[in-house]
Amino acid sequence: MKRVAVAILAAGRGSRLGGDSPKPLTLLGERTLLDRSLGAALDSGLDPVLLVVGYEAEKVAAVAPKQAIVVRNPDWQGGIASSLQAALRTLVGDRSITGICIGLADQPFIGAEAYRRLAAAGRQGAELAAATYGGARRNPVFLGRSLWFEAMKLEGDEGAKQLMRRYPVVEVPCDKTGNPIDIDTPEDLAREIANGA
């Protein structure tokens, strides 16, 4: 069986949300953003599950369950691309891992089934795949090993999106598996709390 890893990127500061604590540790209801997003990755059954930390790395790493492999990104200010690369460097030596699903800590409603569907697309031959909701491409994203070398050259606050402009993308419908919204601002957070999150 081809192994597919998962990486939850949780290295950014999240300055638009405000506050002093790292964004992944922000409470949404009774659970943090990280608990929700990382929980879905762990529930997916994929292995290994990586958590990429950067800003206030020790605080974020301290709450990670032991099943997750914590990866520190010292270049976290370089954006999402640098966190993706930190995950890939951790995995590249294990040739049994043929792809990686990438999720974000500030998307707390992505479901475990979305990761399973992306991994299945990879096992069926996709090298680049994206979850779709209502026909729109969102997260998670699957990146096959054949594209990892090129991913290591990416820069800035986009990761696999840059590759999607160059290579064919397999779209994987993930409607009803969860919700891909981002929690970026205090208004986003207040809205979801008001909605009963």
Reported confidence tier of residue 64, pLDDT bands at 50, 70, 90? very high
pLDDT digits over 157-197, tens only? Answer: 778 888 999 999 999 999 999 999 999 998 999 999 888 77
Averaged pLDDT for residues 129-156: 95
Measure the N-to-C terminal CA separation of the chain; round to a whole number of Å.
36
Place of tokens 């300055």: 15
Q: Rounded to an integer, what distance in angstroms lies between the CA atom of residue 45 and that of residue 41?
A: 8
What pLDDT, on a 0 to 100 scale, did the predictor assign at position 1? 67
80-137: pLDDT as tens digits: 999 999 999 999 999 999 999 999 999 999 999 999 999 999 999 999 999 999 999 9
Using CA atoms, how far apart are residues 128 and 10, in angstroms rounded to an integer? 22
Please, is 149 exposed, middle or buried when counting C-beta atoms within 10 Å of its C-beta (0-12, 13-18, 19+)? exposed
Dihedral through CA 82, CA 88, CA 90, CA 91, nearest 10? Answer: 170
